[in-house]
Every structure is written in C-alpha cells, then in structure tokens.
C-alpha cells in the first residue's frame, strides 16, 4: 500500500499541514525542493507516518492511485514550476491541490491548463496560520465538485471542527476557493486595522496603560467581540521585550508588511464596481505606514488641532470604543460578503454565503463569534442585499452607531488618524442615504462632457444645454 497523500513544500504551513494529516491517520509522503526542510520535518515528526522523498519521481510513485498531492509553496511562479515538475510523473485522474495564497485567476488558468492533460486541480484556500495548519485550519476548496468529493474525507478530517462540523465546505468552480480566501484576507486587513484604531483611542486619547488595555481586550473577548484577532491582541500587548524588558509592541517598527491578498481584493472590487472602502482604506493604511521616512519630518512640520478634551469618563468611553469597533467590524464584514455576493453573480458561482460564514467560525484568522449571526442572516434570507439590513444588525447598528460617531469625532478633534473607523461610518451613512448628491455629479458630467443623465420623474436619457 502506498502513501495516501503527498505534501510538497515544507515551510511554515506545509510542514504543519503534513503533521496534521499524519496525526489524522494519513500516510504522508513529503517533499521539499531543498532537502533541509524535509530533514527538519522528519526530525519533528516522531512516530507519525511521515515519509520523506528527495526526488519528485520517487515522491509521486510512492502515492496510491489516484494520487493526491497538496502543494504548500510560495504563491506565484513557484506554483507553476512545481506543477511542471509534477506533470510528467502524473496520470489522468490524479489530483493536485494548491493550498497557498494563489491569485484566483492563476488558479483558474492552472485548472484549464491541467484539464487538457486529464489531471484534476483544486485551489484550496487555507486559513489559520501555523497553529491552524497543525491543529485544524479553515479550508475553502474550489474546482470540480466530483473531484472535491474524492479528497473531502481527508480535507474535512484535517479542518477545524466547530460544533461537530468541519470548517471545510465545497465553495465553487475553478478559482472560487482561492477567491473566497482572498476576500477573507481583505476582511482580515480591515479587522486588524479597526482593532489598531480602537487601541489607538484607548492609548492616545484615554491614556490607558498598556497592561490595562490588554485587560480590556481580554474582557471584550468574552462578549460579542469574541474573536481570534481580539484574543491575540491582548496577548501581544502583554508581551515584554527580552532585550529591554519594555513592551515588545513599542519596539516594533511601525511599517506593516503585506503579501498581496488585500491588494488583490481591492483591485478585484474596483474592477467590478464593488464598494469595499474599509478594506481598501486598511490596505492604504499599510502603504502609508511605509512612508515612515516622510512621516517623521512631517510630524514636526504639519499642525494638528489645538482643542483636546482629555476629561473623558474612562468607563463610559471604553464602552463607546467597544461599540464603535463592533460597528466597524459589522461594516467590514458586510463589505466582504457583498464582494462574495456580487462576484458570485458575475461568474455564476452560486457561492454558499451561509456556509462560508460557518466555516470561518473555526481555524481561520478572522474567526469570530458574530459569524454565527452572519450565517443566520443568510439562512433567514439567502438573497439579502447587504448584511447591514439583516434584522439583527439593523437593531445592533441602531444602538451602536452613535458610539462610532463619538469615537471618530473625539479622535479626529485630537488629531488621531482613523481611516478604517471613518470609512466604516461613511459606508454606513452612504448606504442608508436614500437621496444622495450623486445627482449633482451627474449634472457636472453632463455639463462638461455631455454624458447624459436619467431623471427621477421620466424614463429615458437626457442632456441639457447648461449655459
Ligand atoms: N504563513 C501563513 O500564515 C499562511 C500562508 N499561506 C500561504 O501558504 C503558502 C506557503 O506559505 P508559508 O509556509 O508561510 O511560506 P514558507 O516561506 O515558510 O514556505 C514556502 C515553501 O515554498 C517552497 N519554495 C519556495 N520557492 C520554491 C521553488 N522555486 N520551488 C519549489 N519550492 C519552493 C519553500 O521551500 P524552501 O524553503 O526550501 O525554499 C517552502 O517549502 C504561501 O502561498 C502563503 O501565502 C496561507 C495561509 C496562511
Ligand atoms: O493568509 C494568511 C492569513 O490568513 C497569511 O498569514 C497572509 O500572509 C496574511 O496576509 P499579509 O501577509 O498580506 O498580511
């Protein structure tokens, strides 16, 4: 009997996925193009059924037919070159799964290219970081459903389990799985930036010491904000630097990195007329963070406000910040799920929004208590236009929107920068505006470019001689 699955690429994620598979009873063949990582994994694996191979042919030939190979390599050209190295050794019916953060359009192209050879291809979004990959990630498989069914017993077994259900569901054809993972990361960018802005208010405006802010996040994590990102933020704020004994977060350079998925989310949304301003602002906040060399001199040149009301009741304002953060998160998830809905319509993917919310409840980076509520909103009304108009969120936002206004106003009057909280409020207010100033823009366009406009009272397309 050969190995039941092969894992190729044994970095942070691949080695953990391989160990996860072995711990669930799979016989796992492993291969990495440089042997050191293979040796490290073998040392780590103890008695688990992990079998190392040092050449692609031997790795492939060790697998039971139809062969199932899980790639966990750097996204981009590396995926193409790894596929090229595999194809000569594979047969029709063998299955390659790509678990990296590949661009969903690349995944669709690879699916098409492999289709002509008879080799099956699945793009599997994986979320959960190193720990999730080891103990149970959230998995978003896309490709042919009948091909997914062949690997479902393995994928559902290694995925996180919530209330007895695996955090893995068939997403849709071709690149749909990687698309869902991409937007998941866009939401992740927004969630992280919103948390950072809430932290800024607590620290810079309310002058709360770091350890107490950690306590506040821990308390928030026991209520409706309960989520992985809130939980790790409390841990991060408590961490001391080994070198200086001071809070480590204060020693970390304020330039945020990124690997592309938030940028792709924004580009896809812009290309298709999907309003994801909170996600995009969160991406731009990362870009602006990189202008450190300009921000430092600008901080001594550019004036801020003079009014500063520092006489705020701490308990009252901590609650305002909690509500503001919740509002921001609702708006950000509403934007991400709108992107799913609109793109699903564009490609006829029929994305299972209710199930996507369910598989995000465990394993993944944006796992959060309120995904249960999001799932229920789609269960109650499959085609609901926007999460904001789901009855639960209508009531919640009615209660919390004032807090978002207060926090933004106080922060802005103190010169604090809140790009994503502000984008959340603008989105909320724009979405609930029945008659907007877009009519003025239409008039301007018709004035300078004869672009024509529609009227509110008569059907048709009109042009006016404005002078
Ligand atoms: N880290 C995370 O939290 C998450 C990462 N991902 C995605 O998973 C994928 C892997 O990420 P991660 O494990 O963190 O990254 P690592 O950098 O730890 O691992 C990358 C892997 O790709 C291999 N590789 C790189 N270049 C080549 C090449 N030219 N040919 C063959 N193999 C190559 C590396 O081998 P070697 O080291 O020998 O060069 C290594 O095994 C990425 O797409 C990432 O975006 C998805 C979810 C979460
Ligand atoms: O996919 C992930 C989490 O879900 C990876 O950690 C990814 O690297 C996060 O994106 P970025 O590096 O752009 O912050």
**CATH number of the domain within which 460 lies:** 1.20.5.320
Domain membership of residue 110 (yes or no) is: yes
- Between the CA of 260 and the centroid of ligand 2 the distance, in Å, is 8
pLDDT of res. 355 = 97
Domain membership of residue 212 (yes or no) is: yes
Q: Whose CA is nearest to atom 3 of ligand 1?
A: 129
Same domain? For 299 and 391 the reply is yes
- Between the CA of 38 and the centroid of ligand 1 the distance, in Å, is 13
Same domain? For 382 and 394 the reply is yes
Same domain? For 157 and 279 the reply is no
Same domain? For 302 and 353 the reply is yes
State how many domains the chain has: 3
Verify whether ligand 2 is closer than 6 Å to residue 11 (CB atom).
Answer: no
Same domain? For 344 and 453 the reply is no
Pocket test for ligand 2, best of 261, 359, 362, 363 (most atoms within 8 A of CB): 261
User: What is the pLDDT of the chain when averaged over all its residues?
Assistant: 97
pLDDT of res. 311 = 87
pLDDT of res. 306 = 79
Please list, in sequence order, all residues whose beta carbon lies within 8 angstroms of the beta carbon of residue 350, skipping any fewer than 6 positions away: 172, 344
Same domain? For 448 and 414 the reply is no
Range of the domain at 264: 181-432
Verify whether ligand 2 is closer than 6 Å to residue 101 (CB atom).
Answer: yes
Same domain? For 96 and 208 the reply is no
Give the end of a domain, one of 170, 189, 204. Answer: 170
Binding site: residue ranges?
A: 9-14, 32-34, 73-75, 101
Domain membership of residue 142 (yes or no) is: yes
Same domain? For 146 and 207 the reply is no
pLDDT of res. 310 = 76
Binding site for NADP(+): residue ranges?
A: 9-14, 32-34, 73-75, 101
Pocket test for ligand 1, best of 7, 11, 18, 20 (most atoms within 8 A of CB): 11
* pTM (global) more than 0.95: yes
Contact 112, 133 (CB under 8 A): no
Give the CA radius of gyration of the chain: 25
CATH number for the domain spanning 144: value is: 3.40.50.720
- Between the CA of 73 and the centroid of ligand 1 the distance, in Å, is 4
Q: Whose CA is nearest to atom 7 of ligand 2?
A: 259
pLDDT of res. 1 = 80
pLDDT of res. 48 = 81
Collect the ranges in the chain with pLDDT lower than 70.
307
Q: Whose CA is nearest to atom 14 of ligand 2?
A: 258
Pocket test for ligand 2, best of 98, 101, 125 (most atoms within 8 A of CB): 101
* Residues annotated catalytic, as ranges: 181, 188
- Between the CA of 59 and the centroid of ligand 2 the distance, in Å, is 29
Q: Whose CA is nearest to atom 7 of ligand 1?
A: 100
């Amino acid at each position: 009997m050969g190995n039941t699955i092969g894992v190729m690429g044994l970095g942070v994620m691949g080695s953990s996925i391989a160990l996860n598979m072995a711990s669930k009873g799979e016989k796992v063949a492993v291969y990495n193009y440089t042997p050191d990582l293979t040796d490290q994994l073998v040392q780590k694996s103890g008695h688990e059924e992990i079998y190392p191979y040092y050449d692609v042919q031997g790795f492939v030939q060790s697998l039971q037919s139809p062969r199932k190979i899980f790639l966990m390599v750097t996204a981009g050209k590396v995926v193409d070159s790894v596929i090229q190295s595999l194809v000569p050794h594979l047969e029709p019916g063998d299955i390659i799964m790509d678990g990296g953060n590949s661009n969903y359009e690349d995944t669709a192209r690879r699916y098409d290219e492999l289709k002509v050879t008879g080799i099956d291809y699945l793009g599997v979004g994986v979320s959960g970081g190193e720990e999730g990959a080891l103990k149970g990630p959230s998995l978003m498989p896309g490709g042919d459903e009948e091909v997914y069914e062949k690997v479902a017993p393995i994928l559902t077994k290694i995925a996180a389990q919530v209330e007895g259900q695996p955090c893995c569901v068939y997403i849709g054809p071709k690149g749909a799985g990687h698309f869902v993972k991409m937007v998941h990361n866009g939401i992740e960018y927004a969630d992280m930036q919103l948390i950072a802005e809430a932290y800024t208010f607590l620290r810079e405006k309310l002058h709360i010491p770091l350890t107490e802010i950690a306590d506040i996040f821990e308390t928030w994590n026991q209520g409706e904000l309960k989520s992985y990102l809130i939980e790790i933020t409390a841990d991060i704020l408590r961490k001391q630097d080994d070198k200086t004994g001071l809070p480590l977060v204060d020693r970390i350079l304020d330039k945020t990195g990124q690997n592309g998925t938030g940028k792709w989310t924004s580009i896809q949304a812009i290309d298709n007329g999907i309003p994801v301003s909170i996600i995009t602002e969160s991406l731009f906040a990362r870009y602006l963070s990189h202008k450190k060399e300009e921000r430092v001199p600008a901080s001594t040149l550019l004036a801020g406000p003079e009014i500063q009301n520092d006489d705020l009741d701490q308990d009252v304002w901590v609650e305002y910040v909690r509500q503001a953060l919740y509002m921001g998160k609702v708006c950000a998830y509403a934007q991400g799920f709108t992107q799913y809905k609109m793109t699903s319509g564009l490609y006829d993917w029929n994305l299972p929004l209710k199930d996507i919310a369910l598989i995000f409840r465990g394993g993944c980076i944006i796992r959060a208590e309120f995904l249960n509520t999001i799932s229920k909103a789609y269960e109650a009304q499959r085609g609901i236009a926007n999460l904001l108009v789901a009855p639960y969120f209508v009531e919640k936002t009615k209660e919390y929107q004032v807090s978002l206004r207060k926090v933004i106003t106080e922060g802005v009057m103190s010169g604090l920068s809140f790009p994503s909280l502000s984008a959340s409020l603008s989105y909320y207010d724009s979405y609930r505006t029945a008659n907007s100033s877009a009519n003025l823009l239409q008039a301007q366009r018709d004035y300078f470019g004869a672009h024509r406009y529609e009227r509110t009272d008569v059907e048709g397309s009109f042009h006016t001689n404005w002078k």
